[in-house]
Structure 1
Amino acid sequence: MAKANPLQEQLLKAGLVKKSQVSQAAREQVKARHGKAPVAPTESQREADRLRAEKAERDRAIEAERKEKGRQQELQAQVRQIIESNRVKREGESEYRFNDGSLIRTMLVNELLRRQLAAGSLVIVRLGEGFELVPRAAAEKIRERDTSAIVLDNGKDRGNAEPSTGNAEDDAYYAQFQVPDDLIW
């Protein structure tokens, strides 16, 4: 056993401490001198930690993107279900033409459907590669989920003022003529 320091010997002789307490204190001092102090991380450890952090960040970004894609697919499925459950049966021999972006599309309708489209109570929506007619209430549900599915909605612009030519005299003259919403081209 290592030689105790003079203070420890004096405390032992005086009976203030036991031999086991002295040896315990000596062991703790040795551990403190030769003990495991936190070692500064090496360059390779720092690099490994940085790579782990970057991988975790990439994984979080990929997971967020995956969740967003899943949410978009869920919204598209809801839109498809709303359209399929609310579509109005199309019948008739009269052609109804409407704009689909830069293209002019044609749909066969009867006179009642034509009036409902012109009044805005029916809306044309996109379903896959085709088009369907749905009531206004269903179109509002669709608009909440995906505005790009709405192709033609004559009722949404009803609150706007009449377009102006910029000349008050001409506007007053042309105001006397009624222009129908359901012109057939």
Structure 2
Amino acid sequence: MGKSLQDQLLNMGLTDKKKAKQAEKHVKKQKKVQRKTGAEDETKLRAEQARKEKADRDRELNQQKTAEEERKAIQAQVKQLIEMNRLGDEIKGDVAHNFVLDKKVKKIHVAEKISDQLAKGRLAIAELEGVFELIPPKVAEKIQQREPDWPIVLNEKAPDTGDEEEDDPYADFQIPDDLMW
């Protein structure tokens, strides 16, 4: 039983040596082609995998770039909102208004009327490039919607008590001008 099928066919006379050699050549060729295509397939698979990994890295980098561009655009919008809506030099005064920003007490000098408006939430303080600017509260809310981490101080709006209150029992009494509190 040590004989191959080819030897057995030759011994029986069903084939000749020429056909046996052709069949042997054909089998060798097929094995050779199979080895080459197998190696090529593996190389193609590796190349395809490397291409997919590169595409994933590129996609991730593009997402990071897009996020960074969006962040810069939002910051530019916030700066523009502050610059366009800040109050001018008429706010300057002698009254020191203290406020808390990032767990630190800060101070700006404003007019007394402006200090009252800040305390009542009718004005807000926003920091822009190290300078404190006064802005309307609606603008401050827009800024906080766009950039929640932007340094803004906005007190809660106090209910209008009104200086000309109708039910004021002391409305008929005049306050002396020289009275200091």
Shorter-chain TM band: 0.5 to 0.7
Provide the rounded CA distance (Å) in 2 between the counterparts of 1:151 and 1:110: 20
Q: CA deviation at 1:151?
A: 2.4
**Counterpart mapping for 1:52-63 below 5 A:** 52-63=51-62
The answer as to 2:99 corresponding to 1:77 is: no
1:107 aligns to what? 108
What is the CA-CA distance between 1:42 and the residue it aligns to? 2.4
Determine the C-alpha separation between the residues in 2 that align with 1:107 and 1:92. 9
RMSD (CA atoms): 2.3
Q: Distance in 2 between matches of 1:123 and 1:65?
A: 33
Moved over 6 A (4+): none
1:42 aligns with 2:41: yes
The Cα shift of 1:66 comes to 0.4
Deviation for aligned residue 1:75: 0.5
Contact 1:75-1:145 at 8 Å conserved across structures: yes
Letter in 2 for 1:57: D
User: What secondary structure sits across from 1:120 in the alignment?
Assistant: coil
Q: Secondary structure at the match of 1:82?
A: helix
Q: Distance in 2 between matches of 1:148 and 1:127?
A: 13
Decide whether the 8 Å contact of 2:93 with 2:110 is kept in 1. Answer: yes
What aligned pairs does 1:21-170 form with structure 2 within 5 A after superposition? 42-89=41-88, 90-155=91-156
Cα contact 1:82–1:138 (8 A) shared by 2? yes
Q: What runs of 5+ residues in structure 1 fail to find an aligned partner?
A: 1-33, 160-185
> Take 1:147 and 1:92, find their aligned partners in 2: how far apart are those partners?
30
Alpha-carbon distance in 2 for matches of 1:68, 1:85: 26
Q: Is the 8 A contact 1:139 1:150 kept in 2?
A: no
Instruction: State the identity %.
Output: 33
Deviations 1:21-53 (A, max 9, x none): xxxxxxxxxxxxx9xxxx565222211111110
Given that 1:98 and 1:105 are in contact with CA atoms closer than 8 Å, whether structure 2 keeps it comes out as yes
CA distance in 1: counterparts of 2:109 and 2:153, whole angstroms: 15
How high is the TM-score relative to the length of structure 2? 0.62
More deviation, 41-50/117-126:
41-50
Displacement, 1:60? 0.3
Whole-angstrom distance in 1 between the partners of 2:116 and 2:104: 23
User: 2:78 corresponds to which letter in structure 1?
Assistant: V
Q: How many residues align?
A: 123
| Residues 125, 152 of structure 1: 8 Å contact kept | yes
Shift of 1:150: 4.1
TM norm structure 1 = 0.60
Task: For 1:81, give the aligned amino acid.
Answer: Q
Structure 2 unaligned blocks of 5 or more: 1-29, 31-36, 160-181
Which residue identity does 1:152 align to in structure 2? Answer: V
State whether residues 142 and 149 of structure 1, in contact with CA within 8 Å, keep that contact through their aligned partners in structure 2. Answer: yes
